[in-house]
Structure 1
Amino acid sequence: MSCAERRSLAGPRKAEPRAASATDATGADKIAQTLVELGVDLSSLVTRGTPESGIAHALDR
């Protein structure tokens, strides 16, 4: 198999994660839009920077 053939086979696989990422962003936008339309109040939602700090916060409550 030539180098060009290997590149052409690898090309679509490299593009798949980018396509999935774009789809995820579009899905997140739709979720955000729905939350706004429903008037969901997230002001009391606590966020943390890492899963570990979120678990520590939850256990401290």
Structure 2
Amino acid sequence: MSAPRKTEAEARAAVAQMVPIMAIEGRQMSDRDKDLLVDLIRGVITIDDFAAIITREAGYELD
């Protein structure tokens, strides 16, 4: 049985909880990365999709 999907609001709340922790560490996440993470948490995209998207956006070509 697969885990239930989160709503967009639940996923955004989870991402929002990460922001202060990242700030303490001196890091930040772009709005685009937050949106991708929300999609990943919701099950809209897979981890493979996520990896391919960020790899392409970083300028690397995939076969």
Instruction: Name the TM-score class by shorter chain.
Output: 0.3 to 0.5
Query: Which structure shows the higher helix fraction?
Result: 1
- Select the structure with the greater relative contact order (CA < 8 A; seq sep ≥ 6): 2
